Structure 1
Amino acid sequence: MHAFQVTRFQAIEPGPRLLVTGAVHGNEVCGTRALRRLIDEFQNDQRQLLRGSLSLVPICNPLAYQKGQRSGDRNLNRRLRPTQDPREFEDHVANWLCPLMQQHDILLDLHSFQAQGRPFVMVGPEDNNGPLQPFTQAAQELAWAKVLGVQRGVDGWLDTYSGGVAQRRARYAGREVGSSVDLDEQYGVGSTEYMRSTGGMALTLECGQHEDPEAPEVAYRAIVNSLLHFGLIEGDAPAIQSMAGLRLHHVEDKLHADDGFVKPWVSFDRVQPGELIGRRANGEPVHAPQQGWEGCIVFPNSKAQAGQEWFYLARELERFR
């Protein structure tokens, strides 16, 4: 059996309730290392919590972590929600993790990625009353994102996933929708999306490539800066920095194991209109949009399995300046 563990520190003075999570994907361990470092500091009285509460989860998905791979039975960070009929290990994780998130105001979720690239933060939508992801704390969330210590921000996650689901439904017309998680309308809901649905704020920090030795330090600095920003520990307020900004607008799935890129793309590589990005196993070319588009590639994953997300395309925007 795999046990779930959270280490919680509670100050006498009331204040924000911050939750920090690592290893939602089992092969993304930079957050795990950073969180264990911080737990040691608090337990050895090197740091003191001034107000509020701090909950630290170094390993969200112990089965995937034990296997040293992204998932146990499926991707935890897709269609994250409690269920009364748990069938996969990640369903059990969700039944523990979602109530834990509901007990907090703020979530920082620490990740890393497959391809080479620089760290960046994924933020939620602008304030809106729409049906997909209504939100009212965009300014506060963005102000927090600007103190994490990274130089790039990305938004548009859930809108892009909604479009991806529509593409899959069209591709598999006639297939029973309920038989596949990636055809579910809630497929794009991960930890941060679920947290916002409870009324909280949430950021996903992509700390670098999986094996980057600097990634644990990126994660650690972001946690400490978050604690300072919300006044949970003593110290000077972290520096605010403007960030280059991107908005995701398209996700492309890998349809066959032999689909391949035409070159070793790195996240945020510029992509020209109509540029050849890859080829399907049958030789069919995969191009960027031909007209009215200019941007870059994000999360190119040459090791993606058939049916998984292969890459994303994003446009620049001024929101993060």
Structure 2
Amino acid sequence: MDGGNELIRRAAATPQVLQWHTWASLTPGPSLVVLGAVHGNETCGTHAIFRAIDDLQHGRLLLRQGRLTLVPIANPLAFGTDTREGDRNLNRRFVPRLQPQDYEDHITAQLAPLLATHDALLDLHSFHTPGDPFAMVGPRNNDGAREPFKRAAEEADLARALGVNKVVEGWLEVYDRAALARGEPLDEEGIGTNEYMRSQGGYAVTIECGQHKDPEAIRVAERAIRGALALLGMADVPAPSRYDGPAARLKDVVLRESLNDELAADWHSFDVVKAGDLIARRADGRELRAPYDGTVLFPHPEADVGQEWFYLAEPS
């Protein structure tokens, strides 16, 4: 798709401009927004979204009802340098400020009102190490102060319709534990696109499509877009197989304390561990063993000191 490649080159060359594409059917229906490259080195969503744009522009995909907004490159500065972030991580403090201070603040000022006018968000990401793609959902319905929510059933339904056979829940609660361990306040830290979407009355699912540069991750992202459109009745497209198995609930996060800390194995997300299994060793020789039967998630062997090194989840 040469036109898409040209659009990608142009977007990377103009980080001061944020672009999105919206289609609105004259038949009322749900509104869906899809984000790519919230982290600039996670490009599978960008390619999948540009392919969807091309299909819509050439009539291979027709919006039957509702409104669809596609944002292929949510962080052009980071995308242009093939790095995770520009000035900072866009997906850890996605909160509009009256006076934006950095590049990601300016991006948030544009994207936040856009998200707030939609019912659902699909956020396309990828990850460092090899592993299976998965969907991430937020909290269960609750009236708590941190992340009150009333649309968990719709969110879970969307996650299970996107063509992946793994679902993870409970992100913010466990991220907060990491922030507290670093001595950070629990105010805006940890609030990403999904959390902001929920705060505005919508619901949101992140798809981790695979390893960053794996071409298969693009196909996973394309399938997720089609799955969302099919579920919401927005387009006549084949629906991927629905996942009806158990989710994994995040329970613990471990921070790296020293660059000499070492993982005990080449862990991949969803590798199974039994209570007592050795997961990692600290620089001083302390062993970190699984406290319960579960899985390793998001292992990051190159994590900086004080950053998330790996997570543990249990069946939900």
TM-score with structure 2 setting the length: 0.91
Counterpart of 2:216 in structure 1: which amino acid?
E
Q: Is residue 2:102 matched to residue 1:88?
A: yes
Counterpart of 1:98 in structure 2: which amino acid?
A
**Structure 1 residue 239, shift from structure 2 partner:** 4.0
Distance 1:158 1:99, change over 3 A: same
Distance 1:232 1:95, change over 3 A: same
**Structure 1 residue 271, shift from structure 2 partner:** 2.0
Pick the aligned partner of 1:141 from 155, 163, 169: 155
Counterpart of 1:69 in structure 2: which amino acid?
T
Query: What value does the CA root-mean-square deviation take over the aligned residues?
Result: 1.6
Question: Counterpart of 2:308?
Answer: 309
Please say if residues 226 and 237 of structure 2, whose CA atoms lie closer than 8 Å, have aligned partners that are also in contact.
Answer: no
Q: Is residue 2:21 matched to residue 1:19?
A: no
**Structure 1 residue 105, shift from structure 2 partner:** 0.8
Distance across 1 between alignment mates of 2:123 and 2:248: 19
Pick the aligned partner of 1:162 from 176, 181, 205: 176
Question: Counterpart of 1:173?
Answer: none
TM-score with structure 1 setting the length: 0.90
**Structure 1 residue 235, shift from structure 2 partner:** 4.0
Percent pairwise identity: 47
Question: Counterpart of 2:244?
Answer: 242
Distance 1:2 1:259, change over 3 A: farther
Distance across 1 between alignment mates of 2:178 and 2:229: 35
Distance across 2 between alignment mates of 1:17 and 1:245: 26
Report the 3-state secondary structure (helix = DSSP H, G, I; strand = E; otherwise coil) of the residue aligned with 1:33.
helix
C-alpha distance after superposition, 1:70-109 (max 9, x if no partner): 1112111112101123222111111111111111111000
Taking the TM superposition and a 5 Å limit, the aligned residue runs for 1:105-124 are 105-124=119-138
Gaps of 5+ in 2: 1-14
Q: How many residues align?
A: 302
Question: Counterpart of 2:117?
Answer: 103
Report the 3-state secondary structure (helix = DSSP H, G, I; strand = E; otherwise coil) of the residue aligned with 1:244.
coil
Report the 3-state secondary structure (helix = DSSP H, G, I; strand = E; otherwise coil) of the residue aligned with 1:301.
coil
Q: Is residue 2:62 matched to residue 1:48?
A: yes
Please say if residues 161 and 243 of structure 2, whose CA atoms lie closer than 8 Å, have aligned partners that are also in contact.
Answer: yes
Pick the aligned partner of 2:195 from 193, 205, 215: 193
Please say if residues 176 and 186 of structure 2, whose CA atoms lie closer than 8 Å, have aligned partners that are also in contact.
Answer: no
Question: Counterpart of 2:268?
Answer: 266
Distance across 1 between alignment mates of 2:204 and 2:268: 26
Report the 3-state secondary structure (helix = DSSP H, G, I; strand = E; otherwise coil) of the residue aligned with 1:51.
coil
Distance 1:283 1:90, change over 3 A: farther
Distance across 2 between alignment mates of 1:66 and 1:267: 28
